[in-house]
Structure 1
């Protein structure tokens, strides 16, 4: 048994199985129930590390049964926590919650402060992965207090990171950054690569949302390197997905797809069915929709939505509904897009996810502009722009400015339209957001055409054309040009003609 445990600690779970199996046979022969329970639990740990959750759960439950019979409260609580983690990974929500709650109850009864703190973290993650942020935040803060009291700095750092992620999800970005920076300081002090990787990744995620792309990319790459060094494939996948999202914002769609596909492949290989699998599956599908691969995207988004609904994760459901709305918008099915955006807005509003609420509201406004309701859309976009700016959401803020310019142009308020769009062009260039830049130049060209400024109209139309062609060539596919919102520009690429009249 001791040899098997050493192999597990050496991160060699496969090698641990032979000595552990021999030890199990001996324990059965000697009818040593305590040893049998401990060995079964160790085998469960080995299979968990081998990314075989069904096998892990089977051995954990056998160990759990013996510990119940022996009234081993401390051991029972520890096994329940292990069981709950695997049940959650396998999508067994009700069973996982019951296991966590029983483990927490037992640890409180025996006065195990460290155990209580650790279980609170696990239970907080359970609620976080289902979008129940307030409940998760309460549990994380209680655990933080206990971890400080017992002097466990590694778990203090973990609590700080988890609290930061809750604030990130709630749109409180400066609060999130503060907690992430504190977590990084403690993690670097402990010199544990996996913990450092988590903190670095968290800060990269904040940087992405706030438009600090160079800083974000450096953070993602460092976290991948650290997680690889720690042999943490799950961490590598999560960082790869984050990097893919960053590439998507930059209009680097082929790189985005590569990164997200690598992340999805890893999660499927390790049989992780948690929140992250759904996030990655839907995020990859969104990139597929962006590049015009609609049928593939549609299928994956339907699968992801079903999984998110089963997990009862309202923010994730809202995000996927927005992705589905975008897909319909790119297809030119504006009625379906409006319906999906409205569902996303209602779901996001109830969940308290501020960024998702703003994005849903902006999406409804862009459909309203297509429907000829520019004035109503403009009122909504003014509110979105204000909130996006206050939260530091640069990408959303620029996208909102482009839609405002479009709405103002429809209302023939060309001076204000031009002001919004020229600002959007400048900020898109500074951010390196090429997809936004294409749209901003295109709408600005329409404004100049409407005001009979042929020189400026020609300049901006050519810039839109050049940038779209640049993105298309990098993607090495014409599927991008099937998007309805890009077709007016795409026609010039496909015909190789100079734009003369803008719709």
Structure 2
């Protein structure tokens, strides 16, 4: 699999400038040194994308011109490095940027040094020099950490994201996640939605790598939502889709993974990013390989290898070679497979890519064993075992143990064979436990998913009631609610059973605790009906154990301190599962699940409550639970007699237990114990009053009724959220004006219904001038203030005629109605610009173009094209003309 870390945040902005100059030709000799430097920089900026080789020549002249000139020399080195990046001369670019960083640091220019270190770190990462990349990126962060300058904060966030990529390549996943989250916080504070989407995508990849598939899906959906609502960038689309494709692949949905990754590759081809193309093509080839589609796999892997080698992408080249080796193994060409895995290993060792080393050692050892080169195979498989243990990679660990067991069996070394088979069994048990825990989490979510579906169905059906046939639709609602009740009843019942049977194979423990708790409550003066509800609720006291791994829950020996701390969390898990209910049953169950391990002396958990601070329900169930546990055999202890257990309960009065509850329990539990051993009493005592199956069903149905009462509230909240999300989807986050999507919808609607009062509908396209200059000279925060001021002033100016929209960047538009060819439009725009200048933006200007319906066009699309053409024509002349 290719390295999933492909997204970068922040642009490789060219060096800062204050005043734009005409493109550089031959500067007059009477210009100042600073002006000539600015002319060089402007010339390179004008040429870098259109004619990069010519830009390289000018940048080299600039470097010679500034030799020995301190800060100017630093700027020329930085500019030369950026041009060399553009033409893919990465080693030369790295040398230029390292010189720039040293010169900037000597002149105490922190921002310049950070920019140079950041670009150098990115180059080192792409070349596979991870240690050097980390050094440069940490140097960049040190220069701008804590900066109040938006430009410095942007560099800080960008360097953090690149550093996260380095950590991820090394397998330092926790460090990668911390760096990404820090970068995300900075981009949120800066309001950069595009960068937020990119970092969220990276975080989703880390969560996928950790096996947190549900969390990863949520994170990637959040990233894709930002992309859909606020970003028109094929590169972001490619990355998010690629991440989703990889997630589907890891979730064993290979056909869907291929389909999504093909869409990602199409987006990558539109954005002309060679590194992204290489990685997505590699992933696609790997997915085809896993599906045994050899011809498609070969085509894509060879294409990925060609791109990687042409651009010196060493990490990607190693991954492709390793995947090609696996392809040749499946095709039966073992010598070729060995050569490819060896080449992949050499690159991984050279670059320090530990994940690549693990894959290459493992696959190379497997092939060598198949070729009977057992000594070499043992060395490579042994090294893969060490790396898998270091990187906590259970899948690769299991494969290494299996391969080594097979190798030692071939040589007749039975002790070593048995050792690796035992280790394999332990590893597979851990993998099974992880898989089971994921399934349990999905099962716990099922209840909420079913309820959400029900809300949707009820809302749709109620709408049908109002519109069509009320009686028939209400019947459908009733039927659907009944179906939901049965489904939810099954989910809740199975959840309780799952908790019971994980460490209580008969399920009798929870029944006995419930019965004892109910009788204790009655002896304490509770009404019989309420005591029965307590007895049912007490059966769920350990429902939180469903979230505790089997390796801890079923451990026969004493738990370690860390394991015991994790076991204690079952109280919090149980309370969370049962939280939010409106019925007394569910409220009591939540209270019991949370507090039945609290102690009278305050030494219990999870909250350390004491004496009357512990709810009475928790104090009652604590006694019933401990008494029953003492009298039952467990892997780690014998069953105590009832007399021994009662003496222990009495001894713990005032320490573990409420003395008043203990006093009652000595009588009640003695009778309970006698009933267990008396055949005549045990049949009657099997169920407490009202505890038969039909009553249980009724209680759960009552619980479902209580939950259903919440549906109306939930539906109203959902409708409110939906309206809010719709407003957000149609609103520009910076200016709060309607956005492009709202503009297109309103334009279409208004073109369909023209004014009938003698006025004509018009569209005015606006282009705000000077935004780029302000961004470059004063920073993006100042540019945002200009955009906000222009939006406010134009909205106020055009309010009597129509609405103003922000289409993106510095482009705005107005839809309104006015007498044909009225000069008032130009007057209103001029007034708006005067107000913007008065707000502190003296150089503010705008180009405009107006189109009228039906005089200039008949459709919304043609109307917009005419207004845009007139606006761009005016923009070219850089002056306001009479409104058309």
Is the TM-score greater than 0.5? yes
Partner of 1:400: none
Deviation (angstroms), 1:346: 2.9
- Aligned residues between the structures: 388
The 10-residue stretch of structure 1 (107-116 or 357-366) with the greater mean CA deviation from structure 2: 357-366
Within the candidate set 127, 130, 133, 1:90 is matched to 127
Q: State the distance in 2 between where 1:248 and 1:265 align.
A: 18
> CA offsets per residue over residues 152-179 of structure 1, 9 Å max, x none?
2222122212222222223333333322
Partner of 1:386: 432
What are the residue-to-residue correspondences of 1:72-471 with 2, within 5 Å?
A: 72-108=109-145, 110-111=147-148, 112-189=152-229, 190-273=231-314, 275-331=315-371, 337=377, 340-364=380-404, 379=425, 383=429, 386-387=432-433, 389-390=435-436
Distance 1:68 1:148, change over 3 A: same
Q: State the distance in 1 between where 2:115 and 2:427 align.
A: 51
Distance 1:378 1:145, change over 3 A: closer
Within the candidate set 9, 12, 25, 2:61 is matched to 25
Q: State the distance in 1 between where 2:378 and 2:62 align.
A: 65
The 10-residue stretch of structure 1 (377-386 or 51-60) with the greater mean CA deviation from structure 2: 377-386
> CA offsets per residue over residues 86-135 of structure 1, 9 Å max, x none?
22333444433221111111111544333222211111111111222222
Determine if contact 1:52/1:271 at 8 Å carries over to the other structure: no
Q: State the distance in 1 between where 2:71 and 2:280 align.
A: 41
> CA offsets per residue over residues 224-282 of structure 1, 9 Å max, x none?
11111111121111111111111111112232122111111111100122x33322222
Q: State the distance in 1 between where 2:137 and 2:43 align.
A: 30
Secondary structure at 1:51 match in 2: coil
Deviation (angstroms), 1:323: 0.9
Q: State the distance in 2 between where 1:391 and 1:285 align.
A: 34
Distance 1:382 1:93, change over 3 A: closer
* Root-mean-square deviation over aligned CA pairs: 3.1
Q: State the distance in 2 between where 1:17 and 1:34 align.
A: 25
Determine if contact 1:217/1:246 at 8 Å carries over to the other structure: yes
Determine if contact 1:321/1:340 at 8 Å carries over to the other structure: yes
Secondary structure at 2:211 match in 1: coil
Determine if contact 2:401/2:424 at 8 Å carries over to the other structure: no
Partner of 2:880: none
Q: State the distance in 1 between where 2:211 and 2:101 align.
A: 40
Partner of 1:424: none
Deviation (angstroms), 1:362: 4.8
Determine if contact 1:314/1:348 at 8 Å carries over to the other structure: no
The 10-residue stretch of structure 1 (132-141 or 372-381) with the greater mean CA deviation from structure 2: 372-381
Unaligned runs of 5+ in 2: 1-40, 440-884
Distance 1:377 1:113, change over 3 A: closer
Deviation (angstroms), 1:62: 3.6
Determine if contact 2:114/2:143 at 8 Å carries over to the other structure: yes
Secondary structure at 1:129 match in 2: helix
What's the TM-score, normalizing by structure 2?
A: 0.41
Q: Which has the higher contact order (CA 8 A, sep 6+)?
A: 1
Q: State the distance in 1 between where 2:118 and 2:89 align.
A: 17
Q: State the distance in 1 between where 2:173 and 2:133 align.
A: 18
Determine if contact 1:27/1:33 at 8 Å carries over to the other structure: no
Larger Rg: 2
Partner of 1:61: 98
Deviation (angstroms), 1:59: 2.6
Unaligned runs of 5+ in 1: 394-503
What's the TM-score, normalizing by structure 1?
A: 0.69
Determine if contact 2:321/2:340 at 8 Å carries over to the other structure: yes
Distance 1:42 1:377, change over 3 A: closer
Q: State the distance in 1 between where 2:110 and 2:427 align.
A: 57
Partner of 1:71: 108
Secondary structure at 1:222 match in 2: helix
Q: State the distance in 1 between where 2:428 and 2:65 align.
A: 75
Distance 1:383 1:293, change over 3 A: same
